[in-house]
Amino acid sequence: MDKFAFPLPNGVMFASGEKRVVSFVTESGQKRLKSFAEKNKILYFHFPFARGLQIFFCGIFSIFTTFFQFFCEKSKKKSDFFKNWIIFGAVLIFSVLFSALVFGFAPARLGILIVPLSCHAILRNFVISLFKIVFFVLTLLTLRCLPPFVEFLRFNRAIDLVLGGKKKDCLPTNFLNFVVFVFILDFLVVTLVGVNFSIIFNFFFHLAIFLLCISAGYEILLLAERWWGKLGFVTAWLVYAKPSTTHVETASIAFTELNLLLSQKERQFMEDEKGHSFSVVYNEVKNRLASAGITDKSEADWLIATVLNKNRAEFKLVSSISDKQEQDIMRATNRRVKGESLDNIFGFTEFYGLTFDVNKKVLTPRMETEILVEQVLKAEKNFKNPKILDLGTGSGCIAISIAKNCDAEVCAVDVSKVALLTAEANAKKNDVKIEFLHSNLFEGLKRKRKFDIIVSNPPYIKSDDIKKLDKNVRECDPLLALDGGEDGLDFYRQISEKAPSKLTSGGMLFYEVGKGQASAVRKIMRENGFEEIKTIKDYNKIERVVYGRIR
C-alpha cells in the first residue's frame, strides 16, 4: 500500500489510505505519537494527474490542521486565545498582501521597465516570470532565518532519510519539494500565457492553471524519481535543513507505527497519548543499541519481547506500554549498552522455539546453531529408531531441540559437570528425556556403544584470537567452550579420528564450524574415512555446517 509523509511544525505525519500517524516532539523534548483514522483519504494514487491534486490538498490540509491544533493548545487562557488568534489573523492578512505585492505587482512593474509594452509580449512575460521565481526563492531563503521554519525543514529532510533517501539524495516527490515545484511551474505558465480580462475571469483562469500545474507537476516529479532522481536537487536546497538525531527518530517512530497499523488489522489507534507508545520505545531501544555498535535488529526485538513476556511474533501487537514496563525495558537496554549479553541480563535465551536457562558456565546458544539442529533433524528420518550423540552439550540446546522434535534416543556428554547440571535442568524445563554423561568426548562411553548420528559444536576459536573477541563473549562465555587450539581445529581432529568407531554403518557426523574453517574440516573428515561431505551456509552466507557419512 502506498505511503505518504508530510512535515509538521513540530513533527511528521505518515499516511496510508485512511490511517494517519503523527509523531511529534513536545516542548519538554519528549517524543510522542498519535494514530487515528481520517476521512480525508487518498483514493486516487493509481490515477495519473488525479493523484497529484489529492496529495497536494491532503498535505496542505494535514499541515494546517496540525498547526491549528498546536496553536490552540498554546492558547489555554481565554485572553491568550483571542490574543493569539488576532495575531494569527494579522499574519494571514499580511501574507496575502505581501504575496500580491511581491509575486504580482512588483514583478509586473519590473518586467515592464526592462521590456517596455512596445516590445514583444512573450519576452516581457518571460522576464516577469523570472522575477516572480527570484522573489519566491528569496522569500523562502528569508524564512530560513526563522527557527520554527528551519525546524519544519529539518523534519522534512528526516522524512526522506527514513524513507530510504541517502545522505546526498533527495526524493523529487518529497511533499515540500512538490509544493515548491508547483509554484515555480505555475509562475512560468500563468505569466507566459499572459491572459488579462475581467477580474472574475482572471481568477478562475489562474485557478485552473494552478490545478493543472499541481496535477502535471506531480507526474513530472514521479517520472524524475523513477528515471532520474537527481531532479530533486533543483529545489531541494530550498526545502531541506540538516536534521538532528531527534528529527530522524521522530520520523522513524511514525513510519514504524504506520507499518504496524497496516500489517495488524486488530491494532488499536493511539489517540489519547496514555502510557508510552510501543513505536516510541521500540525506536528508542534500537537507536540506543545502534549507538553502542549493536546493529542486529533481533536484539531490540528480543529485549522488548522478554520484558513484555511475549514471544517475538506477539510483542509488536502491543500498542502502548506502561510506565513500569518502559522503565524495565530501558534498564535492560542500559545494561546491554554497557556490554552485558541479553542472556546474562535475563538469565535465559530462546533457541529453536524453546527457552533455555544460561549462565557463565555454558556457551550461550547462537542463532546459526539452529541450522545445525535443522540438518540433523532432516537426516535422522533416514534411520530406524535413530540413536544420536551430542558431544560437548553445554546448555543442552542441541540435544534438547533434537529430542523435542523427533523420537530419537539422544545422549549428551560434556567434560564440565556444571554444564551438565545446567543441561539437565533445561531438559526438565522443556520436558524431554535425555541421557547425560560426564565425559571428555568419547572417553566415558562404553567401548562397543554406537550411534547413527554424532553432532558437535566444538570449541573452534584460535587460542591467540580469544583476546580479540567481543567483550560480551569474553566475559560471559566460558573459555573451555571457546578455545579450539592453535589453529582452532583441535577438536575436529580428535572427534573425526575417533567418530568412525562410534558410528553405525552409514552413520553421519555433523559439525558447526567457524568462519573460514569449512574447507579444513572437510579435509579432516575425508582423511578419516568420511564421504558425501556437504556444507551448509548460515543466514550471512558463511559456511557454517559441515557433515558427512562414514564409508
Mean pLDDT of all residues in 41-47: 63
58 half-sphere exposure, CB direction, 13 A CA radius:
27
| % of the chain exceeding 70 in pLDDT | 84
Q: Give the whole-angstrom CA distance, residue 42 versus residue 144.
A: 30
pLDDT at 482 over 70: no
Q: What is the pLDDT of residue 502?
A: 95
Contact between residue 439 and residue 445 where contact means Cβ atoms under 8 Å apart:
yes
The cell numbers describing 285, all together, are: 531501544
Q: What is the pLDDT of residue 479?
A: 44
The cell numbers describing 445, all together, are: 562411553
What b/e string do you get for 16-47 counting C-beta neighbours within 10 Å, with b at 16 or more? bbebbbbbbbeeeeebbbbbeebeeebeebee
Q: Give the whole-angstrom CA distance, residue 537 versus residue 449.
A: 32
pLDDT at 85 over 80: no
Domain boundaries, the chain: 4-246, 274-338, 353-550
Q: Give the whole-angstrom CA distance, residue 52 versus residue 367.
A: 47
Task: Identify the residue whose cell numbers are 562404553.
Answer: 446
CA angle 156, 159, 160 (to 5 degrees): 100
Q: What is the pLDDT of residue 476?
A: 47
- Nearest CA among 336, 337, 354, 353 for reference residue 345: 336
pLDDT at 76 over 60: no
374-383, long-range: CB < 8 A, 24+ apart? 375/510, 375/536, 375/545, 375/547, 376/402, 376/453, 376/455, 376/510, 377/402, 377/405, 377/406, 379/453, 379/508, 379/510, 379/547, 380/406, 380/408, 380/452, 380/453, 381/406, 383/452, 383/453
What CA–CA distances, in Å, run from 470 to 37, 76, 504?
Answer: 47, 54, 40
Report yes or no on whether pTM surpasses 0.75.
no
Listed in order, strand segments (DSSP E) in 102-224 are: none
* Three state DSSP letters for 437-484: EECCCCCCCCCCCCEEEEEECCCCECHHHHHHCCHHHHHHCCHHHCEC
pLDDT at 66 over 70: no
Mean pLDDT of all residues in 186-196: 77
| % of the chain exceeding 90 in pLDDT | 31
The cell numbers describing 462, all together, are: 584460535
Residue 414, beta-bridge partner list: 438
Mean pLDDT of all residues in 426-439: 95
pLDDT at 154 over 50: yes
Looking at CATH, the fold of the domain delimited by 353-550 is given as: Rossmann fold (3.40.50)
User: Which DSSP state fits 97?
Assistant: H
Q: Identify the sign of the CA torsion 410, 414, 420, 423.
A: negative
The cell numbers describing 245, all together, are: 538525531
- Nearest CA among 284, 290, 220, 215 for reference residue 250: 284
What CA–CA distances, in Å, run from 308 to 316, 325, 326?
Answer: 10, 7, 10
pLDDT at 27 over 70: yes
Out of 162-176, 257-271, 420-434, which region has the weakest mean confidence (pLDDT)?
162-176
Task: Identify the residue whose cell numbers are 541479553.
Answer: 342
Pairing mode of beta strands 354-357, 19-25:
unpaired
Question: Which position has the higher pLDDT, 2 or 291?
Answer: 291
Q: What is the pLDDT of residue 188?
A: 84
356-375 pLDDT, tens digit per residue, is 888 766 777 888 899 999 99
pLDDT band, residue 341 (cuts 50/70/90): confident
Residue 537, beta-bridge partner list: 543
Best-predicted range by mean pLDDT (237-251, 290-304, 331-345): 237-251
pLDDT band, residue 69 (cuts 50/70/90): low
Q: What is the pLDDT of residue 346?
A: 82
The cell numbers describing 58, all together, are: 491532503
Give the chain's length.
551
Out of 139-148, 266-275, 458-467, which region has the weakest mean confidence (pLDDT)?
458-467
Q: Identify the sign of the CA torsion 215, 221, 225, 226.
A: positive
Residue 5, beta-bridge partner list: 14
Q: What is the pLDDT of residue 519?
A: 95
Task: Identify the residue whose cell numbers are 568412525.
Answer: 500
